[in-house]
């Protein structure tokens, strides 16, 4: 038994030394998302553009959010495919995932929309993955399917959700009942729509973008930015969502993540499946993913003076291999000596 254990240890050590000598390691580097440089115009408003074929695709696994109540018990969307392109001025992301049922609205109390969020740390060091933390501000780009529907098809109003809805009077409203928002509501009538008049983006029927630019510093701290810099568009087709986000690499907003060509930062993703009544903390999310922003290829400069090449540094690879093999032989000899001196049991 002792000889057997010693022999297994000997073989394992020999294999490890041989792998080390050949530069083989068992650890695997974390997958990285690369924002590929594109000199031509970015497909910033077209998630189905053929130009996205130029960007490498990274499959990002998702897990249920279980750190805070209410938690998601089981992920219904196991992963998303992510791509990114930049032209040195603007950066764009495309996220795609399978979803058999598009959920466009959240008008009824038991109705939930599909949604997607991208999260970035605003400081060089990645913040806590769970919406940041005190002193760790994160920037969130939140695409909402119902906002996308309103932009593409017009505001989904109460008469659309409740066909028998009828209101025959509203202060300062114009037109004929049932009144439509926003067309029948001028500035005087708008004053009686409190959320809209106060500037609440959830109450605004005329949204310029389906993406909300947000910040957070921990659970329950998510808030909308005063300045909205992120554009986007989502398309559901053949059982699959394709959503694109776009924003200038650098902005004047101190609460925004700032990008630069050649930079490496982090990004994370979260998805809500409206068909499964997912909202708020009930979602699936990823861990931090390294993001590298590819710069434009440096243009070759004309050579004015041809300099003499410096001597190449000595290649010590052969010496290292010889030393590794010698060390391996000595270790094997030592273990062999111990092996044959051990008793059988």
The pLDDT-based confidence of 119 (bands split at 50, 70, 90) is very high
Q: What is the mean pLDDT of the chain?
A: 84
- Mean local confidence (pLDDT), 161-178: 85
Residue 183 confidence (pLDDT): 87
pLDDT, tens digit (0-9, with 9 covering 90-100), for 300-341: 333 333 333 333 333 444 444 555 565 666 657 666 656 566
pLDDT in tens, 76-96: 999 999 999 999 999 999 999
pTM score: 0.78
What's the rounded mean pLDDT across residues 244-261? 97
- pLDDT (0 to 100) of residue 345: 54
Return the SS3 of 334: helix
pLDDT on residue 291: 97
- Which one is predicted more confidently, 339 or 191? 191
pLDDT one-digit tens code per residue, 198-208: 888 888 888 89
Region 156-160: mean pLDDT is 86
**Rg of the chain over CA atoms, in angstroms?**
29
Distances (CA, A) of 93 to 83, 114, 167, 174: 6, 18, 43, 42
* pLDDT value, residue 98: 98
pLDDT at 286: 97
Number of neighbouring beta carbons within 10 Å of residue 32: 12
Reported as a pLDDT band with limits 50, 70 and 90, residue 152 is very high
Residue 324 has a pLDDT of 56
pLDDT at 209 over 50: yes
24: pLDDT confidence band, cut at 50, 70 and 90? Answer: very low
Q: Per-residue pLDDT for 134 more than 70? A: yes
pLDDT of the residue at 317: 41
């Amino acid at each position: 038994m002792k000889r057997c254990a010693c022999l297994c240890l000997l073989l394992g050590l020999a294999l490890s030394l041989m792998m080390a000598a050949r530069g083989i390691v068992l650890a695997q580097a974390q997958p990285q998302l690369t924002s590929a440089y594109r000199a031509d115009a970015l497909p910033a408003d077209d998630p189905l553009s053929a130009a996205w074929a130029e960007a490498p695709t990274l499959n990002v696994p998702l897990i249920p959010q279980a750190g805070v109540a209410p938690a998601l018990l089981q992920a219904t969307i196991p992963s998303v495919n992510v791509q990114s392109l930049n032209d040195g001025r603007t950066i764009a992301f495309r996220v795609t995932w399978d979803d058999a049922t598009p959920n466009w609205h959240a008008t009824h109390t038991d109705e939930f929309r599909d949604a997607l969020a991208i999260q970035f740390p605003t400081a060089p060091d990645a913040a806590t993955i769970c919406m940041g933390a005190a002193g760790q501000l994160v920037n969130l780009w939140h695409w909402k399917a119902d906002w996308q529907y309103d932009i593409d098809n017009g505001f989904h109003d109460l008469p659309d959700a409740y066909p028998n809805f009828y209101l025959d009077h509203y202060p300062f409203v114009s037109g004929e009942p049932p009144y439509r928002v926003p067309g029948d509501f001028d500035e005087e009538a708008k004053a009686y729509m409190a959320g809209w008049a106060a500037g609440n983006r959830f109450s605004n029927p005329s949204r310029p973008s389906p993406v909300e630019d947000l910040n957070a510093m921990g659970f329950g701290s998510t808030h909308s930015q005063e300045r909205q810099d992120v554009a986007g568009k989502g398309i559901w087709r053949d059982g699959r969502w394709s959503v694109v986000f776009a924003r200038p690499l650098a902005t004047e907003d101190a609460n925004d993540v700032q990008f630069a060509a050649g930079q490496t930062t982090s990004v994370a993703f979260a998805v809500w499946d409206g068909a499964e009544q997912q909202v708020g903390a009930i979602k699936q999310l990823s861990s931090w993913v390294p993001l590298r922003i590819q710069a434009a290829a440096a243009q070759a400069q004309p050579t004015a003076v041809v300099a003499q090449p410096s001597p190449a540094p000595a290649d010590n690879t052969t010496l290292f291999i010889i030393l590794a093999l010698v060390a391996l032989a000595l270790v094997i000899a030592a273990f062999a000596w111990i092996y044959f001196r051990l008793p059988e049991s």
